[in-house]
Amino acid sequence: MAKTIDDELLVEKFSRGDETAFDRIVEGYSADIAVLANRLLGWPGEVEDIVQDVFLAAFLGLKKFRCECSLKTWLFTITINKCRSYRYRQMLNLRFFSKPAATTSATGASDVGKTLVDDETFRKVRHAVQALPLKYREPVILRYLQELSTDETARILDISKNVLQVRLSRARERLKRDLAELIG
């Protein structure tokens, strides 16, 4: 709650022309946005361009932000849209120039000491998440990995809570089916 009030103050300051407020917003949310973008794009590890784009869009639109939702929700919505555009551009590149997609190959910085079996298992889990259609993947990441509330997730995705529940349920069904051989 305190963070929300702080956010509102920062937005208010920025609207009055104090650009240092924006610096504080970037400091506060860049890590969260980077993590979300990393998950949405399939754990590529490098998401600096996306985060830069998100804050550019935020800088341009912050004066129009009316605090109807939290700043975090608003920034996450921008992130979702930027990731969708990024994936769409990648898909076009793949289609027209036959470049391989960079989103599904990442293994990230695996912890040293984990067994090869675990590594392989988790890689398959991430791959299963990436294989989900966009409308199922986004709710799964926001709800289970970002651990946002149902309300926030529904608001970010601009869908009703019922639709969100249905999509999560279907996503779980698919994951169960895809990961059955791993987990048994």
Supply angle C-alpha 80, 84, 87, rounded to 5. 135
Site for another protein in 101-120 (CB under 8 A): 106-111, 114, 118-119
Q: Which of 68, 24, 30 lies closest to 50 in space, CA to CA?
A: 30
> Would you count residue 18 as binding another protein (CB under 8 A)?
no
CB-based contact 132:163 (threshold 8 Å): no
At closest approach, how far in Å is the CB of 1 from another protein? 26
At closest approach, how far in Å is the CB of 59 from another protein? 5
- Rounded Cα–Cα distance for residues 103 and 134 (Å): 13
> Would you count residue 131 as binding another protein (CB under 8 A)?
no
The DSSP output letter for 111 is P
User: What single string gives the DSSP state of each residue in 48-90?
Assistant: HHHHHHHHHHHHHHGGG---SS-HHHHHHHHHHHHHHHHHHHH
> Would you count residue 39 as binding another protein (CB under 8 A)?
yes
At closest approach, how far in Å is the CB of 147 from another protein? 9
Interacting residue with another protein among 4, 15, 52, 160 (CB under 8 A): 52
- Contacts with another protein by CB under 8 A lie at 19, 22-23, 26, 30-31, 34-35, 37-39, 43-48, 51-52, 55-56, 59-60, 106-111, 114, 118-119, 121-123, 125-126, 129, 140, 144-145, 172, 175-176, 179-180, 183
